Amino acid sequence: MSPGERARGERANEYDASCARCGGPVPAGAGLLRHGARAWEVYHPEHAPDPGPPPPGDHPGWHRRRLLSLDIGSTGHRPAVDRIRSAALRGSDGTAHDWILDPGSDIPSAEEGSDAVEAIGSDIQQATGSNIPDIGSNLPQPLPPRPALDELATLVAAHLAAGELLVVWFAPHVLSTLHAELLRHDLAPLTARVPAGVAPVCDPLVLDRHVDRYRPGSRSLRSVAEWYGVPHVRPGDPGSDAEAALLLARTVAARHPALARLSRPALHTEQIIWYAEQTSRHPDAPAWPFAPVEPLPWEPPPEG
């Protein structure tokens, strides 16, 4: 393998194998790995196809049903403390809802707020830039949090009650923060609005890490969207992030028939298992899809 290939983070074969293209022997460390239909395949470097996800198929699955995607912009990464500044819903049927919230005069302005969702270790890195949208003068004035959050929760609960998948990129941050915010404003949380439980949830980050476990590089929403060729016009804006997450959920399933064939309840259950495996080295990783945290008073994030 050439130095250039190593520099790009190419993964070499650990054991002697045969080239998936020509059938010739490939000594350990001399070939390149690529995804096959059911497992990794080994190639001579000159025979390896360009890195990339497998091609999409025309198979049925949950990705062809109605999906609703949720994203928020918050003041930081502490679900019990930080506040939701903005939120968005995007549906596969064209549904689009956006909210800009006024978190209160005691909260720093958006320009002063936290600019990223903290990762739980590099294995679940979430954001490379701000997750707070730039509020321009041409956008609506911020709304009081209580009615906006109630409207948001009502729409989400109705979708979940119908048994349809709610798409949430890094669900533990989004859903835990939403849970605390609803309680903070004396509103019923999703756990009370959906008696059967906050499910089924589809987290494209968990899916991508499951189907492409060893891919090097960032797993931010921006990077994963780029890998799959999914448009992501304005990273950090909840509307753009929700749309990108929705498209990612559909394209990952379209490229992995075994994943798409799972029932919606089974997909939810499997993600609990996959996420536990993905975060096994991070005992402080938040629960998936969320933790029912109690709201705490606002306090500035620690310096540094």
pLDDT average, residue stretch 92-101: 97
CA gap 270, 257 in Å, rounded: 15
Q: What is the pLDDT of residue 128?
A: 29
CA gap 190, 43 in Å, rounded: 49
Q: What is the pLDDT of residue 159?
A: 98
Q: What is the pLDDT of residues 244-258, one digit of tens each?
A: 999 999 999 999 999
pLDDT average, residue stretch 266-282: 97
- The yes-or-no verdict on residue 302 having pLDDT over 90 is no
- The yes-or-no verdict on residue 114 having pLDDT over 90 is no
CB atoms under 10 Å from CB of 28, counted, come to 12
CA gap 235, 255 in Å, rounded: 24
CA gap 65, 60 in Å, rounded: 9
pLDDT average, residue stretch 157-164: 98
- Residue that is written with structure tokens 């949720």 in the block: 70
- The yes-or-no verdict on residue 139 having pLDDT over 80 is no
Nearest CA to 182 out of 172, 173, 192 is that of 192
pLDDT average, residue stretch 35-50: 82
CA gap 238, 155 in Å, rounded: 16
- The yes-or-no verdict on residue 170 having pLDDT over 80 is yes
- Taking CA atoms, 214 is separated from 33, 208, 242, 288, in Å, by 10, 10, 25, 21
Nearest CA to 125 out of 217, 200, 48, 36 is that of 217
Cα distance from N-terminal residue to C-terminal residue, the chain: 41
Task: With cut-offs at 50, 70 and 90, classify the pLDDT of residue 274.
Answer: very high
Q: Which pair of tokens denotes residue 152?
A: 């948001």
Q: What is the pLDDT of residue 38?
A: 62
The answer to whether 145 and 47 are in contact (CB under 8 A) is no
- The yes-or-no verdict on residue 6 having pLDDT over 60 is no
DSSP class of 48: P
Q: Would you call 253 helix, strand, or coil by DSSP?
A: helix
pLDDT average, residue stretch 231-236: 96
Q: What percent of the chain has pLDDT over 70?
A: 85
pLDDT average, residue stretch 78-107: 94
- The yes-or-no verdict on residue 265 having pLDDT over 50 is yes
- Residue that is written with structure tokens 């949208």 in the block: 133
- The yes-or-no verdict on residue 113 having pLDDT over 90 is no
Side chain identity at 188, as an amino acid letter?
A: A
Dihedral sign, Cα of residue 82, residue 88, residue 91, residue 92? negative
Q: What is the pLDDT of residues 175-233, one digit of tens each?
A: 999 999 999 999 999 999 999 999 999 999 999 999 998 788 899 999 999 999 999 99
Lowest-pLDDT range, 115-119, 152-156, 177-181? 115-119
DSSP class of 126: -
pTM of the entire structure?
0.82
Q: Which pair of tokens denotes residue 60?
A: 């049925």
Strand partners, 68: 91, 166
pLDDT average, residue stretch 148-161: 98
